[in-house]
Amino acid sequence: GKSLLTLLDWSKEEIEAVLQKGIELKRERKEGKLNTSLNGQTLGLIFEKSSTRTRVSFEAGMIQLGGNALYLNGQDLQIGRGESIHDTAKVLSEFIDAIMIRTFEHSKVEELAKYGSIPVINGLTDEFHPCQALADLMTIYEEKGTLKGLKVAYIGDGNNVAHSLMIACAKVGAHFSIACPKGYEPKEWIVNEARKIAEQQDANITIVENSIEAVQDSDAVYTDVWTSMGQEAENDIRLKAFSNYQVNDELVKHAKDDYLFLHCLPAHREEEVTASVIDGENSYVFQQAGNRMHVQKALLQLILG
Ligand code: CP
């Protein structure tokens, strides 16, 4: 089966197939249909950082498809005491059918995939969060019926979530505009890769400093926390840098009337987004969180089925 390390390695057709399948599996679940397509298969979940959505959506998703999920706390594994990724990858490949890993350095995920003989899913690294971006696209597609030509605005930190969403938009031909303070732009090599892909789909990727400019006429407005796991020491500096980047009622007036508000969660109300927006009628954040499970079930079927 194919690994998902970043969406750069996945074609437009593969991504669209996962989204379609995710929608189909969501409908099946609503109708109460039984699906045992992953009967006897086991997914290992390695977490070196905390998680609510990623952990529960993968565990519940595997159970719903008749398979099993093993939660593996990075601290409790021997990798927490220095066993190499090389040996860990070889050993886990003897026991289980796929691995999902949430860690810091993206190179660790690549190493796991290189030395293991089973598919690896990136459940978030310092650079990418591809499963989140699949759920984001699925949510936009469900509500808008299309992705091509839409405008997605991202406000705030040019982080792992922004990187994956930018690549995902480029792949499916949606315009992506990010507003971020100087020094918090997405990584240049990732922007360059995304722009090459976007160009083939007649889509634009723009990086601006002014959040109104990014949000102008957008179909979706997306934000993420200003301080995430591991950045607590810089908290005060970050709060100051992002103070003009709050998604609030004034800002979203510049989006289309039927814009979707999206957030990968967890959210800090009155920091990156006001309660009026995230709890308002244009917010789809809980549907978006739920779609993590449906789209990942589709991904698991494709990888393991
Ligand atoms: N959005 C997301 O990845 O949530 P968790 O950190 O709770 O997994």
DSSP letters spanning 13-33: HHHHHHHHHHHHHHHHHHTT-
Of 45, 47, 54, 296, the one to substitute when testing ligand 1's pocket (max ligand atoms within 8 A of C-beta) is 54
Q: Which residues are annotated as a binding site for carbamoyl phosphate?
A: 51-54, 78, 102, 129-132, 264-265, 292
Burial 166-198 (b: 16+ CB within 10 A, else e): bbbbbbbbbbbbbbbbeebebeeebbebbbebb
pTM above 0.95, yes or no: yes
The residues annotated with a catalytic role in the active site are 102, 129, 132, 224, 264, 292
Longest dimension (CA), the chain: 55
The type of residue at 113 is A
Alpha helical stretches, state H, 201-278: 211-215, 235-241, 249-252, 275-278
| Protein residue closest via CA to atom 6 of ligand 1 | 51
Model confidence over 133-181: pLDDT tens digits? 999 999 999 999 999 999 999 999 999 999 999 999 999 999 999 999 9
Determine contact, residues 245/155, Cβ cutoff 8 Å. Answer: yes
How far, in Å, from the CA of 289 to the mean position of ligand 1?
Answer: 9
Smallest CA-to-CA distance from 148 within 171, 119, 129, 128 is with 171
Angle at which helices 285-304 and 130-144 cross, to 10°: 120
Q: For residues 249, 254, 256 and 259, what is the CA-based torsion angle, rounded to 10 degrees?
A: -40
Indicate which atom in ligand 1 lies nearest the CA of residue 123. 3
Model confidence over 218-275: pLDDT tens digits? 999 999 999 987 788 899 999 999 999 999 999 999 999 999 999 999 999 999 999 9
Model confidence over 36-46: pLDDT tens digits? 999 999 999 99
Model confidence over 178-212: pLDDT tens digits? 999 999 999 999 999 999 999 999 999 999 999 99
Indicate which atom in ligand 1 lies nearest the CA of residue 289. 1
Please state the ipTM of this predicted complex.
0.99
Smallest CA-to-CA distance from 203 within 140, 151, 142, 146 is with 151
How far, in Å, from the CA of 110 to the mean position of ligand 1?
Answer: 21
